[in-house]
Amino acid sequence: MISSHDTPSNVFFPPYLLQDVFEHLDPLDLVTCKRVCTLWYSIIWGRRRLRQKLFLPRAAAEANATSHLVNSPDEVYDLHPVFRLIHFDASLDPALATFGRQKCTLLKESAVKEHYATYPATTRVEMDVVHFHPHLVVENETGVTVWDVMEALAK
């Protein structure tokens, strides 16, 4: 007879089931889940939708809270995946920037422009952009967004 004390502590959930669960979590819970184990980390970073969810801005009710923002010059952060898809010429108005592989969308008309530019979200982003700026610094006390970076590139 097996008692509740004899049950194994490791419970296996198929990755597809975990993906479905993660899809319904808010970004803060997703960050916590990413730190649980290497399997969960690889599932979250392996799914584009989950990875992008980490860059979503705070809900309107929490918009004034900035405790989730990082402001350390030593912090290493990941850029939003949309930056790999942006078509932009620094001589152009950022309002003309598009993104996408086949069907291009105007960035200014997309909700992605309001996403945080980095994970973890930060109030200051420093980056080297070879073709545009030798060293770009973007600051926003409520968190640097994708649009903030695009406007800084156009200056």
**Are the C-beta atoms of residues 125 and 117 closer than 8 Å to each other?**
yes
CA neighbours closer than 13 Å in the CB half-sphere of residue 24 = 4
Residue 155 to residue 153: CA distance in whole angstroms = 6
Residue 40 to residue 22: CA distance in whole angstroms = 9
Looking at per-residue pLDDT, the higher value among 60 and 36 belongs to 36
Domains of the chain: which residue ranges? 13-53, 71-154
Dihedral in degrees, nearest 10, Cα atoms 149, 116, 67, 53: -170
pLDDT of residue 139: 93
Of the listed ranges 12-16, 39-43, 74-78, the least confidently predicted one is 74-78
pLDDT of residue 61: 38
CA neighbours closer than 13 Å in the CB half-sphere of residue 92 = 9
Q: What pTM did the predictor assign?
A: 0.64
pLDDT of residue 26: 78
The amino acid occupying position 147 is W
Residue 85 to residue 17: CA distance in whole angstroms = 29
pLDDT of residue 60: 44
Looking at per-residue pLDDT, the higher value among 21 and 105 belongs to 21
Tell me the two tokens of residue 114: 């309001």
pLDDT of residue 31: 77
Query: pLDDT of 86-133, one tens digit each?
Result: 776 666 677 777 777 666 778 888 888 888 888 888 888 888 776 666
Query: pLDDT of 43-101, one tens digit each?
Result: 888 887 787 777 777 554 355 555 566 666 566 777 888 887 777 666 667 777 777 76
pLDDT of residue 97: 76
Helix (H) or strand (E) holding 119: strand 118-119
